[in-house]
A and B are shown apart, each in its own frame.
Chain A
Amino acid sequence: MKIKKRNFALVFYFILLMLPIYWMLNMSLRTNADILSTFSLYPKEITFANYMKIFTDPSWYSGYINSIIYVSINTVISLVTALPAAYAFSRYRFIGDSQMFFWLLTNRMAPAAVFLLPFFQLYSTFGLIDTHIAVALAHCLFNVPLAVWILEGFMSGIPKEIDETAYIDGYSFPGFFAMVFMPLIRSGVGVTAFFCFMFSWVELLLARTLTTTEAKPIAATMTRTVSATGLDWGLLAAAGILTIVPGALVIWFVRNHMAKGFAMGRV
């Protein structure tokens, strides 16, 4: 009985959670005139015109491609650099370790508005404006610290005896890291990859400042419709629905790592 009540509450929460997204889906399948004129719980005449426009107009679909490219680069850079660093923070004591650890997080604390100008200047100086790598690097500013923090938490949960045993068994550091350690923290890596992907995907200000046309992200393409005369709600909703898809795929792939956790009892 208790379990049933709990499930009921959870289902109720998920229904509330899905309502705004359902509303977006509903709008994306209707024409703009229909959306603005009548209140309707479901689309009476389903139209895919909004989606067709996005898939056929290069200024729309290239936004998705650009976003996916720089987000992927960013996630890879963040994970590759953060894994050894998080290991160092969780296992070693070295000069300035705690200061360094906290300093990393301070990079998420700067209000973007004024920092955008020097950011633009800095990346111009290096000739990186309007490239995918520029946005990927800029997003490292907040994703790498986050990745280090999350991974450090997971790694600290693993007893140090495991490392010691592996070294005695003759593993080198890279061998130990890849063969023994990574499988143990895979749920942490899954969670971290998802968060890096997500924060880079939804960030708009930096991505918009550092790009003009070649690497313009989808979120910036969408603001263009907002400023146009009279909002095309249907088109915007369709674009919004499509922004959810790549992230949903990512979480689908990492879900097992998150759900299973790691069975430490086996080791």
Chain B
Amino acid sequence: MNLEWMAWTLPTAIFFTTIVCILIAMTIWQVISPCIKRRGFIPLSTTRGDRLFIGLLSSAYIHLAWLGLTPFSIWIAFGFSLAWMVVVMRWG
């Protein structure tokens, strides 16, 4: 099976591997200690999985806003996103 047409690059491979690893880790975490819905600063009662989704989606938008509005390196946006993910997962 020839998959050359998928045009893989190292960064995207790392990106998707990370996503898969996060999903596996979240599943294991859920099995070990099931989580209860709770309400943080996000105006919804959310589970851990909901917060992960919110965090990832808003991180995508942080990156887009950074690219659209500033000429600086994308890595700074990446740093912000990491911090934001932690905030959402912990207090969201």
Contacts and interface: CB of A to CB of B under 8 A. Distances in A.
Direct A–B touching in the complex (beta carbon < 8 Å)? yes
Interface of A: 95-96, 98-99, 102, 118, 121, 125
A96 B31 CA distance: 11
Contact of B5 (A95, A98, A99, A121): A121
Q: How large is the interface on B (under 10, 10 to 19, 20 to 34, 35 or more residues)?
A: 10 to 19
Contacts of B27: 95-96
Main secondary structure of the interface of A (DSSP, over half): helix
6 tightest Cβ-Cβ pairs between the two chains A and B:
A121-B5, A99-B49, A95-B30, A125-B1, A95-B27, A96-B49
Interface in B15-57: 27, 30-31, 47, 49-50, 53
Contacts of B3: 125
Contacts, number: 21
A187 to B, nearest CB: 32
By CB atoms of chain A within 10 A, which of B2, B5, B47 has the most?
B5
A98 B6 CA distance: 30
Contacts of A118: 5-6
Interface of B: 1-3, 5-6, 27, 30-31, 47, 49-50, 53
A99 B5 CA distance: 30
Contacts of B47: 98
A5 to B, nearest CB: 44
A98 B50 contact: yes
A118 B50 CA distance: 30
Contacts of B2: 125
A121 B6 CA distance: 8
Given A98-B49, A125-B1, 9 more contacts: A95-B30, A96-B30, A96-B49, A98-B50, A99-B49, A99-B53, A121-B5, A121-B6, A125-B5
21 contacts: A95-B27, A95-B30, A95-B31, A96-B27, A96-B30, A96-B49, A98-B47, A98-B49, A98-B50, A99-B49, A99-B50, A99-B53, A102-B53, A118-B5, A118-B6, A121-B5, A121-B6, A125-B1, A125-B2, A125-B3, A125-B5
